[in-house]
A and B are shown apart, each in its own frame.
Chain A
Amino acid sequence: MKDQVVIVGAGLGGLRAAESLRGAGYDGHIVVIGDEPHLPYNRPPLSKEALAGGVNVEDLHFRRRPTIDDVEWRLGAKVVSSDLEAGIVRLEDGSEIPFTGLVIASGIRPRQLPIPGPTTGRVLLRNADDAAYLRDRLGPDTHLVILGAGFIGCEVAATARKLGAEVDVVALDPEPLVRPLGEEFGAAMRRHHEANGVRFHLGRTVQEVLGDDHVTGVRLDDGTELPATVVLEAIGSVPNVEWLDGNDLDLSNGILVDDSMRVVDSPVPAVAVGDIARHPNALFPGEPMRVEHWNMPTEIGRHAGKTLAALLAGAEPDPTPFAAVPSFWSDQYDLNIQSFGMPGLGDPVLVDGDIDGDCIVEYRKHSGEKDELVGVVGINRSKDLLPYRKTLQSRQQ
């Protein structure tokens, strides 16, 4: 069989993998299989600009490099199983697609809790259809209850307030965004949201969604009832690994890869890209991690494409270990939040500005004598963050 790479997943990770394969000189056929009907598009606007202004997927399409013009896109097709030893993936309709090289880029989906109650009016937010559905239900007459106070929950809260909706946020965490930002900074974010009319119910869970056919409210674990016309569940994500079952791979949290993004224990050339990849990072030594930040599929894709191209050419992958500075950003009200590094690994120190306004917060990790910068978060201070990224990038030397 001539070389054929199958990329499972037509999101940002799949796109970057295809481009990187071509960039590394792989000239065989590439098939990208995506379960949505769309070419790769940008998801972050789905909780922000696109949710506020209307969802048009064409406007969200990524630029595709001319080098991948000959890639075959199998869109609206779901991969349900695979046999890596035999070199095939199977689609829902039973058809099999053979490969000599595999890119695992099937991403994540929102976690859903088994909360009893009606399902109409309950939404998750992952793809353009979800965003369009939610968009149609947001307006001045809407009462939105959001479960979860992470990025998606907070961004949708801000957007929904802009559209005039009533917004309640219910979360078990002590403060919004507590995991990436820490408690003090999270509390400042809560105050921003409260000043914009969002109500928080923290340390609480939803026990029941109320209503007969359609959502009318939720009941919290302390008995409080909140009215709701729509309920958004934004409580984290689950990696889409089920189609890899039966191949003796480590699927305990995403798919485990080595520092070249090669799938550990794969019998055939295979790499993983994006949110699904649990990978080492030379800048942050320790356990392999999945990092669901937007810049990572691009960083990982660059590395993984080169690795797979080498393996298919019968060569050893470049031994330079993967090293990238994770970065996230978030727009909420007039706040541009941007981060570099892994703030969650350190303790926050306010180094400039006001925690309730524009500021820079460093995250430092202390171990023994060592006190090192592991991350930084700034609000409306992008320019001042630039030197931090350079410092973090040089951690490996």
Chain B
Amino acid sequence: MRLFDPHIHMTSRTTNDYEALYANGVRALVEPAFWMGQPRTNVGSFIDYFDSLLGWERFRAAQFGIRHHATIALNPKEANDPRCVPVLDEIPRYLVKEGVVAIGEIGYDSMTPAEDEAFSRQLQLALEYSLPAMVHTPHREKLAGTQRTLDVVRESGVEPGMVVVDHLNETNVGMVKDAGAWMGFSIYPDTKMDEQRMVAILREYGTEKVLVNSAADWGRSDPLKTVSTAHAMLAAGFTADDVDKVLWRNPVEFYGQSGQLILDPIPGFDAADLPDAAAGFEGNSVLRGARV
């Protein structure tokens, strides 16, 4: 069972998580740029973060046999801090980097004018760079926020098929489907969605244009939620092909629109299921200690 987590913040996770992801069949993932818990206060903080997503984190994932991709954007929450907004001028140069598969997370947090401005500008960048857009929906005022999101996308001229609207639930999935955008669902231990409700939504709305992610980050979350959703689908009578479609082919199709997905196996991982000692290293790094 090959799995693709289309939304997971690995920067906030440990190497144990990488090992568990690989052991459970996750071979590719997308890490969207987002906030860090502690608010950023300047552009340099974003630059180091973006560089880390395209450098260290990609390298770290590769040590565990997982292809790491990123989306880059000024997130809606920090779009409200004028000290952070000038990062918008730096974003274009990141959009041509290898493995940058979308602009995101963009969208709304509190639906302020500053968020409107950052959202629209970045949708224009998506158009200009022919990249998909990954849109976060607000935790509060989700329904109204989703409607407004879809309106802004329509006005932007970005094709709905180039947009995933994420963190959906039973209340707003219908409007996103009707708009022709991709539907993203984050499976969380307590909040957002859970596996059983996800299975019910798949029954009702089908598997087309559905992306399921763990959205695991520094909060209470579980990077193996894609795995448990796959099992829940099988237990509910979905076929292995359905699982492959939702948890591999769909994210490949959506992010593949960027032309930036790299999915060939990492050298040393194609044959065996264990990290290749020759590919590793140690020190101030990831794979500490001698391997046998």
Do A and B belong to a common assembly? no
A contacts, CB < 8 Å to B = none
B contacts, CB < 8 Å to A = none
